[in-house]
A and B are shown apart, each in its own frame.
Chain A
Amino acid sequence: MNVSTIAEFIAVLFMLIGAIMAVISAIGIIRFPDIYTRSHAGTKSSTLAVLLTLLGAFLYFVTTIGFVSVRLLLGIIFVFITSPVAGHLITRAAYRAKVKLADTTIEDELADVLNEKERSEGK
């Protein structure tokens, strides 16, 4: 086994882990009870899945044809920055639209803070 074969194996491994992670993320979106836990499954693990897949593709192109794709690196950075923010915005919009939390929720700390703020502004 020479070096390029090992590097190719690592690239394929990255892509495989990424694909498995995406499946786990999809299962999480189906199985979790409310939007907040679903967004937790949907943003974190999908982001990592996409990052691992892109990194695998990047490594594969570097090792097989020696092509350093700056577009893939920029894509990795872009997804890493934007995907959690998209999840944050969706969850926040859901909370502001008063979407109910799951029945197993014990404590809602944000509600206290928001009520406090509205009371102080109402004065």
Chain B
Amino acid sequence: MKINNVILKTVTKVVIYIILTLAVYLFLAGHNSPGGGFIGGLVLSTAFVLLFIVYDIETIQKALPFDFKKVAALGAFLAVGTGFGSFVFDVPFLTQAFGYFNLPFFGEVELTTVTIFELGVALVVVGVVVTIILSISEDV
């Protein structure tokens, strides 16, 4: 018997935008208030896990055609890459720099290389969590 769960599916379509917005907000807010790469990545992966639970896995994998193991690898590469980037400027490993830039729309913004490191952390968290959920959900 095919189960009709239209309420859950419709609510997920609305709620997923709030979760994704919160994930991006937490990721960007990490420098000056609670948040950061780890928790932003966790919230982002809960959005993916919610989609995987409500819809079936094949549909979502068609919509999100990432290999999440490769996403985790890319994140680790980014995090280590910002560390090695400091060697170019002849400073110790993982030295982070920041600067103030005038962007056309946002005005004066502080841009840091820590953001790239945090992006790496977030990608690793998303990759690991989704990989765990997908591998334990499969029937052996």
Instruction: Point out residues on A near B: beta carbons under 8 Å.
Output: 71, 74, 77-78, 81-82, 85, 88-89, 118, 121
Bound Cα distance from A77 to B19, whole angstroms: 12
**B22 at interface, CB cutoff 8 A:** yes
**Given A78-B15, A78-B18, A89-B8, 7 more contacts at CB 8 Å?**
A71-B22, A71-B25, A77-B18, A82-B11, A85-B7, A88-B7, A118-B1
Which chain A positions have C-beta within 8 A of B11? 81-82, 85
Task: Determine how close the nearest CB of chain B comes to the CB of A110; give it in whole angstroms.
Answer: 13
Instruction: Point out residues on B near A: beta carbons under 8 Å.
Output: 1, 7-8, 11, 14-15, 18, 21-22, 25
CB closest residue in chain A, given B1: A121
A-B contact number at CB 8 A: 20
Q: Secondary structure at chain B's binding surface: helix, strand, loop or mixed?
A: helix
Which chain B positions have C-beta within 8 A of A121? 1
B7:A81 contact, CB within 8 angstroms: no
User: B14 touches which one: A74, A81, A88, A89 (CB < 8 A)?
Assistant: A81
Bound Cα distance from A88 to B8, whole angstroms: 9
20 inter-chain pairs at a CB distance below 8 angstroms, sorted by A residue, are A71-B22, A71-B25, A74-B18, A74-B21, A74-B22, A77-B18, A78-B15, A78-B18, A81-B11, A81-B14, A81-B15, A82-B11, A82-B15, A85-B7, A85-B8, A85-B11, A88-B7, A89-B8, A118-B1, A121-B1
Which chain B positions have C-beta within 8 A of A118? 1
The 10 closest A-B pairs by CB, nearest first: A85-B11, A78-B18, A81-B15, A74-B18, A82-B15, A81-B11, A88-B7, A85-B7, A81-B14, A85-B8
Task: Determine how close the nearest CB of chain B comes to the CB of A91; give it in whole angstroms.
Answer: 12
Task: Determine how close the nearest CB of chain A comes to the CB of B77; give it in whole angstroms.
Answer: 32
Bound Cα distance from A78 to B19, whole angstroms: 9
Bound Cα distance from A81 to B11, whole angstroms: 7
CB closest residue in chain A, given B19: A78
Which chain A positions have C-beta within 8 A of B8? 85, 89
